[in-house]
Amino acid sequence: MTAFAPETGMLTASRGLINALVQATVTGEGDTLAVDALLAEVGAGSLAAPHPALAAALEPLTRPIIGVRLAKTGFVMPGWIGEGRFTLHVHRRPTGEDDQLVSMPAGQLLHFLVWLLDVGPRPRDPRPPETTVPSEALNRAIAFQLGDRATTGLLPEPLDAAIAGGFRDWWLASARWPAAPDRPGSFTVEVIDTDAGLWSVEQREDGTAVVRPLTPLGTLLALAELVPDNDLVDQTAPRLPVQDTPIVGGQVKWVGDALR
């Protein structure tokens, strides 16, 4: 399915064609003939002269300040924040026949993510303040749940019962920006969503993961950290370096490996 909405700049096309558009926009390389054919087919102009609404959607890709990677339901989706605008390559289905390039004012990013990730009221039942587990075991349990496989017994209680009996989704959101001197240049939040509540995941270098209960308010505050304060960003950098700019998404590697 291919379509273009001139009132919003949203482009619907196969994953391969949107990947080609993103690559051509970010690096100037790729299958530009296929991209031009797509844009002409849906009435969105061309790479050299895109429809004004599409040009606005592509602006964050040409001069990104923040590169975003949003992983949900086992797939990574690349996104970009520029001057006042956010654009995301949305993976709607695993097969990728009708992906979308979606753009909006950057001020709507947090509201959009709360909606997309279904952050809302959750139970407040008592849970351990933290549970440390091998990262490999946790990833396997998440991947199996995403693949509709049983996971009972893979993890310690009550985390095991929460995931085995009430798994909703897993997601990860990360952002990278040109950092000011001696300031952090990235932020990541990883969350497991279950009927028992939300859980944050801290992956450690020793191969373990610390899983903690997370409230919806805590989730909202964490998502807000994806857009850094001005003092964290190198104000002299014209853009995020190309090598740090996300281009394509796809299945999370450890999910695919576990489900083979």
CA 224 remoteness from chain centre:
14
126 domain-assigned:
no
The total number of residues written for the chain in this structure: 260
Please tell me whether residues 57 and 7 are part of one structural domain: yes
Residue 88 has pLDDT above 90, yes or no: yes
Q: pLDDT-derived band of residue 239, with 50, 70 and 90 as boundaries?
A: very high
Residue 79 has pLDDT above 90, yes or no: yes
Please tell me whether residues 253 and 196 are part of one structural domain: yes
Percentage of the chain beyond pLDDT 90 is: 96
pLDDT in tens, 139-162: 999 999 999 999 999 999 999 999
- Which helix (H) or strand (E) segment holds residue 230: the answer is none
Q: What is the pLDDT of residue 191?
A: 98
177 domain-assigned:
yes
pLDDT in tens, 16-29: 999 999 999 999 99
- Cis? peptide before 158, omega within 30° of 0: yes
Structural domain boundaries, residue 70: 3-116
Domain boundary among 116, 143, 166: 116
Domain boundary among 62, 86, 116: 116
Residue 124 has pLDDT above 90, yes or no: no
CB contact at 8 A, 200 and 190: yes
CB contact at 8 A, 222 and 200: yes
CB contact at 8 A, 214 and 191: yes
Residue 1 has pLDDT above 90, yes or no: no
